[in-house]
Structure 1
Amino acid sequence: ETRRLFIRKVYSILSVQLVLTGVVSTFMAMHVPTQIYVLTHGWPVTLSMVTSIALIVALMCYKDKHPENMYLLATFTIVEAFLVGTTTTAYCAAGYEGVVLEAVFLTGAIFIGLTLFTFQSKIDFSFLGAALSMGLGALILWGLFAMLFGVQTGYAYALIGCILFSGYILFDTWLIMDRLSPSEYVLAAIMLYLDIINFFLYLLQLL
């Protein structure tokens, strides 16, 4: 019963995070003055990325302290929603609204499918942990190399990103089911939220 309540709490928080992200992203893409400002100024994105990293560190320190953890989580979600919004705004401004919607629906369908599979499966997904960590490290280095030397990451990079975060959805869902403490509901929500957001962003590149 405790585990069931924990899971329900995690997915309730996650749902609020995703709705907030959708609302912020839609506003940014549809509100023309905001769209123009986002597309012509780079500093808000840089500041948001730095803030996001700082908030993750703070959340790790205060993950078990209520209500500080919820305040930090709400702030983190707003910052991440802005970062997602900058990407969707660029796509919409270029006339790719259909691609964004397709990515949203595909991300939702794949997340639900992988979640149901993990919940119904008896597989121990602990074997994925080390491989996912190494894969994420390699992907980050690949992205940094491309950014520093002006190289296009291309289709393969996006495809590997999608596969990697599909694995993270499986692994983190399994952790929530079997390993995480009920007091770690904020950590669990952040894990799944970042899995979904990253999968969505790589899928956008792939489409």
Structure 2
Amino acid sequence: MSHDLNTFNNPSAPPSDYQSYQLEQPDAYQSYPLSQAGGSSPQAAESPPQANNATGTDGWGDFSSLDGKEIRRVFVRNVYAILMIQLLVGFGIIALFHFTPSIRAFVRSSSGLWLYLALIIAFIVICITLVCCCQCASRQFPANLIIFGMGTLLMSYMMGMVSAFYETDSVLIAVGITAFVCLGVTIFSFQTKYDFTSCCGVLFVISIALLGFSIAVIFTRSHVVYTIYAGLGAVAFSIYLAVDTQLIMGGKRQEISGEDHIAAAYMLYTDIVNVFIFMLELLGKRQ
């Protein structure tokens, strides 16, 4: 009875037979001292490393790793190796047309002119195939090699036929100027920080102007208009060469995929051939 009265008078007092236990923290909840920087424990999650996209200083553009840069180097090396083969074929055909009288007489005849027009149509078809069906044509073997071979021969024949109407000295001068211009444009495109791939609007305007002058040359037959047309064409395709070089180099606003080495080499070869033809028309002396 006394036990019940004590409990009633002091409700917070535990009964006499109550065994007290000391509270202990579990081993898993050990406290860690806060760091001076503000406070995270040693087991806090670390932030993931950020990719380094700094612009390279050697003209190769933006790459997130050395592996990507090396892959692009191999791609560029393959493209220019293919381009050298194309240039050897092209200038070999020029030499054949100049130093073989029977071939030179044929390409200067009416039959040769009709063949030239047919080759222009075939060249346009190949360009449309490369642009519109690039994924399915220029990346598949052996379709890519067939397109590459046909395109190279067509462009080389066109270059050789145009040069057959000019004197040998004029052709050699045009070859030298073309080599100097293309080499300078290529080196400048590799080293400059200016992004030529963002100039698509300017290139479109220049192309429209070039088309307009070509129509004017057909109807007016004016030497002044023809000279302006040839000069504008040489400048236009020099800019195209700079754009295509940076597309191949990569790291700019737009770039060519590493799988399109055939299309990339064909683009560069087309630019060089057109620069040569316009230089020959601008500075050459007809026979």
Same fold (TM over 0.5): yes
Structure 1: 4+ residue segments shifted above 3 A: 148-153
Partner of 1:126: 197
Rounded to whole Å, the distance in 1 between the matches of 2:102 and 2:201 is 45
TM-score for the superposition, normalised by structure 2: 0.67
Alpha-carbon distance, 1:149 to partner: 5.0
Deviates more, 1:137-146 or 1:180-189: 137-146
Partner of 2:163: 88
Is 1:191 the counterpart of 2:191? The answer is no
**Matched-pair identity in %:** 30
Is 1:182 the counterpart of 2:258? The answer is yes
Deviates more, 1:66-75 or 1:122-131: 122-131
Rounded to whole Å, the distance in 2 between the matches of 1:31 and 1:38 is 11
Contact kept, 8 Å, 1:59 with 1:69, in 2: the verdict is no
Which residue of the other structure, out of 138, 147, 154, is the alignment partner of 2:226?
154
Matches within 5 A, 1:22-171: 22-41=91-110, 42-60=113-131, 61=133, 62-91=137-166, 96-152=167-223, 153-171=225-243
Deviates more, 1:48-57 or 1:13-22: 48-57
1:145-184 deviations in whole A, cap 9, x for unaligned? 3224544432221111111111111111111111111011
SS at match of 1:90: coil
Higher helix share: 1
Partner of 1:21: 90
Contact kept, 8 Å, 1:111 with 1:196, in 2: the verdict is yes
- The number of aligned residues is 203
Rounded to whole Å, the distance in 2 between the matches of 1:69 and 1:141 is 33
Rounded to whole Å, the distance in 1 between the matches of 2:205 and 2:215 is 15
Q: Please tell me the residue identity of whatever aligns with 1:35.
A: R
Aligned CA RMSD, in angstroms, stands at 1.5
Rounded to whole Å, the distance in 2 between the matches of 1:198 and 1:114 is 14
Contact kept, 8 Å, 2:189 with 2:245, in 1: the verdict is yes
SS at match of 1:77: helix
Structure 1 stretches of 5 or more lacking a match? none
Deviates more, 1:117-126 or 1:19-28: 117-126
Q: Please tell me the residue identity of whatever aligns with 1:132.
A: L
Rounded to whole Å, the distance in 1 between the matches of 2:208 and 2:266 is 19
Contact kept, 8 Å, 1:59 with 1:73, in 2: the verdict is no
TM-score for the superposition, normalised by structure 1: 0.92
Deviates more, 1:13-22 or 1:132-141: 132-141
